[in-house]
């Protein structure tokens, strides 16, 4: 305690008492109290030691601190230095920097955010439906109490997952399964709340409301089969009679946003809530990299909804879809396709030297003909070209006894390029709503999508990585964006989505100390240009060289 007191500006010392997994039994409280009280009595009985030790609360500590430093209520606090910013990235000893957990178990980091979005949507719809249900005796069967219990449980499960071993990805495997199961069940329960609440809200004749728990009035557009699986789109079966598609905007702002659903026939017609035909794009649904499914087809369109609004669209099956399919082209490279598809026009790209180009009214993108990865962007507003090279890289781990893991990132040096022995299969699709390039590497399926719509969606580029490195040992995969932005060792990350924190890459620190948490966004900039990344889940990010912008990493492979 005396040694620790040397770290404090005054003679008042705070010594927190406890640790993980402490006070699990009532007897421990008594033992701790009695044993420490004996130590305190002994120390206090020696005045020559100049020690006064006692139990206390935080209030006791700060009151003693004010007395010792002569800080009254109206006095200046300039006696103590002021720290701004945060404590990231920290090490507990040696070069053991805790930047590993920024990216550990990203699947569950994402599931947390999905639950959060469902909870927000369900709470708003439930509140609106509850008001409607009180207006009529007929609607007294609305399951308000059951839904409220499900909302409460979901909120608690979401709160539980904010635990320092849950959202961080540092829990034991069996504990992670329990967390995941709780999140998964709450997502299913919130879907039920959303369905039951929306049922009341969309009825014109509220007197016709009838609640039947065995036959829900609506179904959701995706299904997740288990806590550790990716969701699958529900395939809507079309008939000549309209199928109703209900879309909800949980934001407090009017939105024009691209919506995609799966249907069982390409002969489709979509009507807006006002009954007018809506422009749609019919896209192929793929089974693997090269096989087109004829059980499902994706239709995409721009939905327009008011703040907190519900829109009812109509889907019908029509006689022909040739006009729609004429605007959709697919190009493949290294696909080794055996026969042409009976519905979609699929062409084989011959020359791998030629660049692949996507374009909308805001920007033009060039992709490598060999790898299919982004290389350059032209912004049409100012007519400037910007180097924006996407790559993948491997990080190994140190040869010492301590390895990278759930908590720590201990690399064996700079990242090494992700080298593919066989040229990846590349799939390029051009449509009226969006175009995309999909690259199939051994460990990652990488998609870049460009929307051909007005507003934010058209001004940004959507990046998706589906990763599986479970067969790797002590290796981690990173996506890197190399740009010509003169960021001068500076970059920026958000603090829980609320404010932006400037970061500085320092060469005197080891690589792992220059990785920072990216909760929702990060950016680099110079005098004229800013490059911003928004992430679907929290990750780690670094800018290790000027203009080199790395997102570390997509997923972790744990050491055994």
Domains detected in the chain: 2-69 (no CATH), 106-208 (1.20.1270.50), 233-324 (2.60.40.1180), 331-555 (2.70.98.30)
Q: Which residues contact 22 (CB under 8 A, 6 or more apart)?
A: 28
Separation of alpha carbons 451 and 460, rounded Å: 8
Q: How many other CB atoms are found less than 10 A from the CB of residue 285?
A: 15
pLDDT tens track for 116-167: 999 999 999 999 999 988 887 766 788 999 999 999 999 999 999 999 999 9
480 and 392 in contact (C-beta within 8 Å)? yes
- pLDDT digit of tens for each residue in the chain (560 aa)? 889 989 888 899 999 988 888 888 999 999 999 999 999 999 999 999 999 999 999 999 999 998 888 765 545 556 788 888 888 999 999 999 999 999 999 999 999 999 999 999 999 999 999 998 888 776 678 899 999 999 999 999 999 999 999 999 999 999 999 999 999 999 999 999 999 999 999 988 887 888 888 888 999 999 999 999 999 999 999 988 999 999 999 999 999 999 999 999 999 999 999 999 999 999 999 998 999 999 999 999 999 999 999 999 999 998 876 666 878 999 999 887 667 788 898 998 877 777 899 999 999 999 999 999 999 999 999 999 999 999 999 999 999 999 999 999 999 999 999 998 888 999 999 999 999 999 999 999 999 999 999 988 999 999 999 999 988 999 999 999 999 999 888 999 998 888 999 999 999 999 999 999 999 999 999 999 999 999 999 999 999 887 666 554 444 554 43
CA dihedral 321, 302, 438, 106 (to 10 degrees): -140
Per the rule left: phi > 0, alpha: psi between -120 and 50, beta: everything else, 287 is beta
Picking from 556, 463, 519, 546, the residue whose alpha carbon sits closest to that of residue 110 is: 519
Provide the CA 288 distance to its chain's centre, in angstroms.
24
Pure H helices in 453-524: 456-459
User: How big, in percent rounded to 5, are the helix, strand and coil portions of the chain?
Assistant: 25, 30, 45
Cα Rg for the chain, rounded, in angstroms?
Answer: 29
For 133, 196, 217, 223, 276, the CA distances from 214, given in Å and listed in that order, are: 20, 12, 10, 18, 34
d(CA 425, CA 438): 8
H or E stretch at 33: helix 26-44
* pLDDT for 207: 77
What separation in angstroms does the CA of 168 have from each of 86, 98, 111, 165, 497?
17, 11, 13, 6, 16
Closest CA to 408 of 172, 91, 163: 91
State residue 422's pLDDT score.
87
Cα 354 to Cα 151, 368, 379, distances in angstroms? 53, 8, 21
């Amino acid at each position: 305690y005396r040694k620790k007191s040397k770290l404090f500006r005054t003679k008042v010392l705070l010594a927190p008492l406890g640790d993980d997994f402490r006070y699990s039994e009532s007897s421990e409280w008594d033992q701790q109290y009695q044993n420490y009280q004996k130590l305190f009595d002994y120390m206090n009985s020696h005045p020559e030691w100049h020690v006064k030790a006692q139990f206390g609360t935080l209030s006791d500590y700060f009151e003693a601190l004010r007395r010792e430093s002569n800080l009254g209520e109206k006095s200046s606090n300039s006696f103590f230095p002021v720290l701004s910013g945060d404590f990231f990235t920290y090490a507990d000893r040696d070069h053991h920097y805790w930047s590993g957990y920024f990216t550990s178990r990203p699947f569950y980091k994402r599931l947390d955010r999905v639950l959060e979005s469902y909870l927000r949507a369900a709470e708003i719809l439930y509140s609106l439906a509850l008001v409607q249900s009180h207006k009529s005796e007929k609607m007294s069967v609305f399951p308000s109490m059951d839904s409220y219990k499900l909302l409460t449980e979901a909120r608690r499960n979401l709160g539980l997952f904010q635990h320092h071993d849950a959202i961080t990805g540092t829990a034991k495997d069996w504990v992670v399964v329990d967390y995941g199961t709780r999140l998964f069940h709450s997502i299913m329960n919130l879907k039920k709340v959303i369905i039951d609440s929306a049922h009341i809200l969309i009825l014109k004749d509220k007197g016709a409301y009838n609640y039947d728990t065995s036959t829900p009035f609506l179904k959701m557009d995706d299904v997740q089969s288990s806590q550790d699986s990716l969701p699958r789109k529900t395939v809507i079966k079309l008939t000549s009679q309209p199928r109703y598609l209900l879309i909800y905007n949980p934001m407090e702002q009017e939105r024009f946003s691209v919506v995609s659903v799966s249907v069982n026939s390409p002969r489709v017609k979509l009507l807006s809530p006002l009954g007018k035909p809506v422009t749609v794009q019919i896209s192929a649904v793929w089974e693997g990299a090269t096989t087109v499914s004829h059980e499902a087809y994706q239709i995409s369109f721009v939905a327009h909804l008011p703040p907190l609004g519900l829109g009812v669209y109509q889907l019908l099956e029509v006689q022909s879809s040739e006009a729609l399919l004429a605007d959709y082209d697919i190009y493949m490279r290294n696909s080794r396709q055996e026969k042409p598809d009976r519905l979609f026009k699929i062409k084989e790209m011959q020359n791998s030297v030629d660049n692949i180009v996507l374009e909308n009214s805001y920007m033009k993108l060039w992709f490598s003909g060999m790898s299919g990865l982004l290389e350059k962007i032209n912004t049409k507003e100012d007519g400037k070209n910007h180097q924006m090279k996407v790559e993948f890289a491997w990080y190994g781990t140190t040869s010492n006894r301590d390895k990278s893991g759930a908590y720590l990132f201990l690399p064996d040096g700079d990242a090494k390029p992700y080298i593919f022995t066989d040229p990846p299969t590349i799939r390029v699709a051009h449509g009226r709503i969006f175009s995309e390039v999909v690259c199939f590497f051994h460990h990652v399926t990488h998609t870049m999508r460009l929307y051909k719509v007005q507003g934010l969606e058209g001004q940004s580029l959507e990046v998706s990585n589906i990763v599986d490195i479970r067969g790797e040992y002590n290796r981690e995969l990173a996506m890197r964006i190399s740009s010509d932005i003169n960021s001068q060792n500076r970059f920026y990350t958000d603090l829980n989505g609320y404010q932006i924190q400037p970061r500085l890459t320092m060469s005197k620190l080891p690589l792992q100390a220059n990785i920072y948490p990216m909760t929702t966004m990060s950016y680099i900039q110079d005098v004229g240009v800013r490059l911003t990344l928004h992430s679907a889940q929290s990750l780690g990010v670094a800018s290790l060289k000027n203009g080199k912008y790395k997102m570390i990493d997509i997923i972790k492979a744990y050491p055994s």
